[in-house]
Homo-oligomer: A and B are copies of this chain.
Amino acid sequence: MQKYAVAVLGASGYSGAELLRLLAGHSQLEATFLGAHDAAGSLVGEVFPHLAPFAHRRYEPLDALDLSSVQAAFLALPAGMSSTIAPRLVEGGLRVVDLAGDFRLPASAYPEWYGFSHPAPAWLDRAVYGLPELFRKEVAEASLVANPGCYPTPVLLGLAPLLSAGLVEPHAIVVDGKSGISGAGKKPTHRSHFAALDGSVQAYRVGRHQHTPEMEHGLALATGTRATVTFVPHLVPAVRGVVTTAYARLAEGSSLADLREALTQAYAGEPFVRVVPQGEVPDPKRVAGTNVCELGVGVDAHARTAVVMGALDNLGKGAAGQALQNLNLMLGLEETLGLPTVGVYP
């Protein structure tokens, strides 16, 4: 059987490398073009020695891509770059999954949260927000998918069914996030220095992280409800893994049993969402290397607060894994192809 040829633009970063790892084990997709900016010209084996199947392949400049040579493309580029590239690819007939935030929000949100005016606002309506468990049908029909952020994914998966069922209040939701350092990319910085991060836990972008409007926008898309979210992410001394803890006011009359029932029903049969047993909590370590998101829920009875927890691998279900899940759907392939579900544990 012939494979689909796929381009990976931004293949020299962590998300790009994870895409290559997954594509190496995919039976119907083949990474035929590996594009990079700074690394163009280098061998993959020099940048990522673990990617043995690609060791002797060379990164090519992004603009060397011949649109007629591939059927699809992943864009794993810095924010602001894919919005200048994606339209041309889609017009050239490619299915495109953008892992950056360039197509996730309404145009009006970009100046404040991303710091740039969107260069192709007309395309925002054509892009589908690629959270398959909530928008599977739309993804399957899309040419351009905005792959969700690592923090919004577990938050939306956890809160959407509860909001839709009216079990929690949409006002004054608080989301506290914790992430390993791989989400910040491969470039060495003072923050990512082992000596600085080991033993450290630090909040960052307090009150101004770009995933805040994405959560609000995603909740509106999924539930029709306008929610207000305060979001503070924290960097913890780990490599992979995101944990989100969302706090929402319990609606009058709703109970822990109701919350659990809503989540369990929403994700029955979903291969990549696992609601943990009552009394247990999600753990990103268990889903390292996979496309699985774990969800859990608890209640603080004395304050009438619902606590909705999620965990995933930020490079898996939080980026490359979910992107591949989206492309599988867009190309009419089996949704689970090439996507691990058993974590490398411990």
Contact = CB atoms under 8 A, between A and B. Distances in A.
Contact of A345 (B50, B204, B207, B212): B50
A181 B28 CA distance: 38
A14 B195 contact: yes
Interface stretch (A84-92, A116-124, A217-225, A279-287): A279-287
A49 B276 contact: yes
Contacts of A243: 201-203, 234
Given A228-B303, A289-B289, A305-B174, A311 B342 contact: no
Interface residues of A, number: 86
A135 interface: no
Interface stretch (A17-25, A32-40, A60-68, A74-82): A17-25
A283 B238 contact: no
A166 interface: no
Give the oligomeric copy count.
4
B283 A200 contact: yes
A301 interface: yes
A342 B25 contact: yes
A49 B274 CA distance: 10
A307 interface: yes
B50 A287 contact: yes
Q: Which of A194, A212, A230, A302 has the most CB of B within 10 A?
A: A194
A343 B195 CA distance: 14
A178 interface: yes
A52 B172 contact: no
Interface stretch (A94-102, A126-134, A141-149, A184-192): A184-192
A52 to B, nearest CB: 6
A100 to B, nearest CB: 19
Nearest to A198: B239
Interface in A207-250: 207-208, 212, 228-232, 234, 236-241, 243, 245, 247, 249
A281 B192 contact: no
Nearest to A294: B49
A301 B176 contact: no
Nearest to A276: B49
Interface string A284-298: 111111001000101
A333 interface: no
A346 B239 contact: yes
Nearest to A271: B52
A21 B289 CA distance: 12
A239 B199 contact: yes
A25 B236 CA distance: 31
Closest 8 CB pairs of A and B: A206-B298, A207-B300, A188-B188, A176-B176, A195-B346, A50-B286, A200-B285, A230-B305
27 contacts: A49-B280, A50-B286, A50-B287, A50-B343, A172-B249, A174-B247, A178-B234, A182-B195, A188-B192, A192-B194, A193-B193, A194-B197, A195-B239, A196-B346, A198-B239, A198-B285, A200-B285, A201-B311, A202-B281, A202-B283, A206-B298, A207-B301, A207-B305, A207-B307, A232-B247, A232-B307, A236-B236
